[in-house]
Amino acid sequence: MSVELQHPMNPQKTPDEAARGRFVSGIRSLILNDLAADMKAAYDRRAAPAYERAHGRPPQTSAEAHKALRGDPAFNIYSAMRVQAQKMVWASVADSVEREAGRLNAAAQAAGGKVQLNPALAVPKNVGAIEVHLMPGSYTRGGDSLEAGAVYDRGLAVFSMGLMGANLDDIGLSMSRYIALRYPDFRPQRILDTGTTIGHNTLPWKQTYPEAEVIAIDAAPGGLVYGAARAAMQGQEVTFMQMCADRLDYPDASFDLVWSSMFLHELSKKQRASALAEAWRVLRPGGLMLHMELPPNAEMSAFDGFYLDWDSWYNEEPYYKGYRDEIPLENCVKAGFAAADCFQFVVPSIGIYGEQAIADMVASDAAEAVGQATTGRLAEGVMWFGFGAWKR
């Protein structure tokens, strides 16, 4: 199903645009459900046995599962269609963004919003020079205009098939609710979201901790300008700053919570290590670093690992597999956190299962039982994986 964004930046689509967006959401559902199941069946029936005959053992890693499947008809059709569907996501919203540029600008100016750009910042290659997710122009499309943010917001609404919430904030809502219930004594006064894009998963933290000062940073200017207006339109006071997560312009011990969602896998190994170290540096004692991310390959079967790593080879996510080959908790320790203070967990989608499901997870301590049954994209339902660490 397609999503209607619940804020004033929602496109006023023509009937043809609505039909195109609906088609893309629908065909993505066909690909990610039906064709993915066909590919798994082909893997079990043909690809893995053939690999085992050739190597004396079945595929054991994501890369080996990929090697086993390359050339299989089910892999070919799944992959070719998924690449094209991804291109269609962005194409399906481009016309409305261009046509509504004037309306969006006027609405953004009227809404206000707090944003501070840094024209001197050198935007890293992974943000502006790679067409991440096959997104034309990447995150710097249109410079500091609203274009990149509008394309991302509208495109994600088509892409998500309703699984990321009405305002694409299900990850933030689910994770912030989990933290509030799991750690009721934790009351952050200052929160930093790194790699915020348009702030869609920042706002839930302000909603959960309304007394806190919330700052959202990103290296790309356009998403910040859009995100600031989007937040203001929803009555949320969040400050958006142009800044890199691996070089924070904040003093030591200046935040209680450093958060990110679907961000670390878009950084190079070196940038990622620096970002985690910076999070440790700017946290106050008693503060929490928390990241929602893709689950690591170590927690998944070879096929499920390949299924996620597909994006690294075919969806312009060059750092995705390298990130997933790492062990998140080891990275936390390297950043300065004590091993005993690190944790990982899975949280049910609050939009699909409701708040009670998260409360039940907290009550049973089941959230931290991370494993193959709960972390894969093929797992039953939608579960968000996260990891974090407390600074003592």
Partner 1 sequence: MSEVPRPDDTPPGLYDEAGNARFFADPAMDRFVAVVMNMAQEMWVQEERLLALEEARGAAPVDREAKLKAFLDRVFAPIRGA
Q: Which is nearer to partner 1, 35 or 292 (CB)?
A: 35
Residues 93 and 100: beta-carbon distance below 8 Å: no
What residues between 65 and 94 interact with partner 1 by CB under 8 A? 66-67, 70, 73-77, 79-81, 83-85, 87-88
Q: With binding defined as CB under 8 A, does residue 33 bind partner 1? A: no
Q: With binding defined as CB under 8 A, does residue 55 bind partner 1? A: no
Q: With binding defined as CB under 8 A, does residue 44 bind partner 1? A: no
Give the CB-side neighbour count of residue 84, counting CA atoms within 13 A.
9
What residues between 118 and 157 interact with partner 1 by CB under 8 A? 125, 129-131, 138
Task: Please tell me the distance from the alpha carbon of residue 14 to that of residue 51, in angstroms, as a whole number.
Answer: 50
- Least CB distance to partner 1 at residue 2 (A): 8
- Least CB distance to partner 1 at residue 273 (A): 16
Strand, coil or helix: 242: strand
Return the DSSP state at 262: S
Residues 115 and 224: beta-carbon distance below 8 Å: yes
Q: Which is nearer to partner 1, 2 or 349 (CB)?
A: 2
Q: Which is nearer to partner 1, 16 or 185 (CB)?
A: 16
Q: With binding defined as CB under 8 A, does residue 112 bind partner 1? A: no
49, 128, 322, 323 from 268: Cα distances, Å: 35, 14, 8, 8
In sign, the C-alpha dihedral spanning 136, 139, 141, 145 is: positive
- Least CB distance to partner 1 at residue 131 (A): 5
Residues 224 and 106: beta-carbon distance below 8 Å: no
The alpha carbon of residue 112 and the mean position of all alpha carbons in its chain are separated, in whole angstroms, by 26
State the residues that interact with partner 1 by CB under 8 A.
1, 15-16, 18-20, 22-24, 26-27, 29-30, 34-35, 38, 41-42, 63, 66-67, 70, 73-77, 79-81, 83-85, 87-88, 125, 129-131, 138, 309, 312-314, 316, 318-322
